[in-house]
Structure 1
Amino acid sequence: MKLDAVQQAAQEQFARQSRNYGRSHILADVSDVTAALEKITLPQPARVLDVATGAGHTGLHFASLGHEVTCTDLAAPMLDRVREAAQERGLTVEMRQHAAEEFPYAAASFDLVTSRIAPHHFSSPESFIRETARVLRPGGWFLLIDGSVPDDEEEAEQWLHQIEKHRDPSHHRLLTPRAWTRLCETHGLRVQSAELRTLKQPDLEWYFDTAATSPENRRIVRDLIAHAPAAARAAFRLAEEDGKTVWWWPRLTLIAKRS
């Protein structure tokens, strides 16, 4: 598997940090997935592909609903975490190691493709969307949940990009709802809804620890926060609570359907 520099950085980062993404991680709360499913009609069972599955929280949730799930990730240790969690819960999922930009599956293989809190690490979001559209059957669904930034907030987006890049150098880019919608529409995925909701990040230190941010980069991030422009302070509601830096990161839930 030949990887570009962005893919290699993500693979190395999440291989190192795989044990930080277990049941106590914030992503173990799949209420956002449950809410999205109210807008999606699936056969029973459906064939589900969860791309960049991480510790498998999303894929295992679909497996618990009786669907046939394939969990994929670049980092083999992450797939080890999925295997362990599946065994603990008595669930069966298929696991495949591959990049998000190229899938080893035939066209029209899946009823649903999901990717949650991962696409900002992808080296080519367009390739990911193209492959998603290819492997979805006609009428199949795409669910994307990821960090995002409001449309037309360029200064805030640039500031947040610097924060994320220093906190976790494997970060690539957050896309706006408009940018994701354009990619989907270009490749035959008709967007049904694209909603931004804010999620409180209650502790900067936890955020550092999850990514094993270096001491130097922690200093840089703290300085960026101290000197954040007004646009960023407003967009992300930066604040201090009980001596902790807190903020509200926008999270995009996008649902699209294959034409």
Structure 2
Amino acid sequence: MGKSSKEQFGAYAEAYVTSNLHAKGKDLFILEQLVKERDYQSIIDIATGGGHVAKKLAAYAKDIVAVDLTPEMLAVAKKHLSDAGINHVQYVEASAENLPFEDERFDLAVNRIAAHHFINVTKFLNETYRVLSKEGRFFLLDNVAFEDDVVDNAYNELEKKRDGSHVRAYKKSQWISMVEQAGFTVKHMHTFEKPFLFQDWTDRVQFTSTQKQELSSWMNQLPASVKDALCIKEDHAGVHSFKGQSILLEAIKG
């Protein structure tokens, strides 16, 4: 049985603060540009992880709450933001599927690079809808699977082999459907190419050399069509890099 998200991120919290994939990225830049368009009274960063969203958006609201299931992650996020001089963020230990806030508490909600770990995405979306005020904005940023079923299955199996807390990266079409079923109106969706460097990607979860070799060999044996779709590149040591996709989806509460 794989690790739970709480166990996984408790063990590797610091690595997610320093990870370039989490700390930087075009998605984070575009998120800030979109958030700048309006004024907000209160912001919730759901599954804050290393605190990168809360840090980026802290200038746009005095009332900002960072939520995470893992106390170790909240501790490193708080230190990360405090070291940057950001001291007005409230940190709350809670599940994304069970947010401890009253209805319509926030007018902006963000969830970034986390939903693929959630057991119950429907409940997460319903909870996000509940805590947002009418016409509140919701930004979902996450890795997504390809629409092709074979590539979808291979990518999700790859993620699961590397991280036992991975549940599912959904297709773009599935996200649009699920978000709309929760009551939101989808306004925009940006799609990004997401490059992964194999060594960094496996180092972040403290893979041993043997584990890296086994995963690299498994990737090498994937069908050619899947390897092409994921742009798997190899060098003398095995897999060097591959590419996935991620999205930034903007939705409004009706």
How does the TM-score come out when normalised to structure 2? 0.91
The residue number in structure 2 matching 1:25 is 20
Aligned with 2:104: secondary structure?
coil
227 and 126 in structure 1: CA distance in 2 versus 1, 3 angstrom threshold:
same
The one-letter amino acid paired with 1:121 is H
Secondary structure, aligned partner of 2:4: helix
Q: Secondary structure at the match of 2:17?
A: coil
Structure 1 equivalent of residue 152 of structure 2 = 157
Change (3 A) 1:41 1:190: farther
For 2:192, which of 165, 178, 197 is the aligned residue?
197
Identity %: 24
Residue aligning to 2:250: 255
The answer for the alignment partner of 1:79 in structure 2 is: 74
Residues 1:14 and 2:4 aligned together: no
Corresponding letter in the other structure for 1:108: E
- Give the C-alpha shift of residue 19 in structure 1: 1.2
- Using a 3 Å threshold, how does the CA distance of structure 1 residues 43 and 198 change in structure 2: closer, same or farther? closer
Shift in Å, 1:150: 2.5
Paired position in structure 1 for 2:201: 207
User: Shift of residue 130 of structure 1?
Assistant: 0.6
RMSD: 2.1
The CA deviation at 1:83 is 1.3
Q: Give the equivalent residue in structure 2 for 1:171.
A: 166
**AA of the residue aligned to 2:137:** W
Q: CA deviation at 1:242?
A: 7.6
Work out whether 1:97 is the aligned partner of 2:88. Answer: no
Give the aligned partner of residue 54 of structure 2: 59
Structure 1 residue 231 displacement after superposition? 3.0
- Which range moves more in the overlay, 242-251 or 73-82? 242-251
* AA partner of residue 239 (structure 1): K
- 2:216 counterpart letter in structure 1: R
For residue 204 of structure 2, give the secondary structure of its aligned residue in structure 1: helix
Partner secondary structure for residue 105 of structure 1 = coil
- Could you tell me how far apart the structure 2 residues matched to 1:234 and 1:49 are? 38
- Partner secondary structure for residue 22 of structure 1: helix
Extract unaligned runs of 5+ from structure 2. none
Match of 1:222 in 2: 216
Is the contact made by 1:146 and 1:253 (CA closer than 8 Å) also made in structure 2? yes
Are 1:118 and 2:118 matched, yes or no? Answer: no
Determine which of 231, 238, 242 is the counterpart of 1:237.
231
2:103 & 2:37 partners in 1: Cα distance?
Answer: 18
Alpha-carbon offset, residue 223 of structure 1:
2.2
Letter in 1 for 2:65: T
The alignment of Structure 1 onto Structure 2 pairs a total of residues equal to 252
Deviation per CA, 1:62-105, whole angstroms, max 9, x where unpaired? 11344421101111011001111121111120000011111111
Higher mean C-alpha deviation, range 134-143 or range 231-240: 231-240
Q: 1:138 to 1:241 in 2, by over 3 A?
A: farther
Deviates more, 1:245-254 or 1:42-51: 42-51
Distance in 1, Cα, partners of 2:78 & 2:31? 25
AA matched with 1:117: I
Q: Does 1:49 align with 2:44?
A: yes
Counterpart in the other structure of 1:147: 143
Q: Shift in Å at residue 41 of structure 1?
A: 6.4
**Amino acid of the residue matched to residue 222 of structure 1?**
S
Provide the C-alpha distance between the structure 2 equivalents of 1:191 and 1:40, rounded to a whole number of angstroms. 16
Contact map agreement 1:107 1:134 (CA 8 A) in 2: yes
Is 1:134 matched up with 2:130? yes
Q: Provide closer, same or farther for how the CA distance between residues 41 and 182 of structure 1 changes in structure 2, counting only shifts above 3 A.
A: farther
C-alpha displacement of 1:254: 0.8
Q: CA deviation at 1:186?
A: 0.8
Distance apart, 1:208 and its partner CA:
0.8
Taking the aligned partners of 1:67 and 1:233, their CA distance within structure 2 comes to 46
CA shift, 1:228, in A, is: 1.4
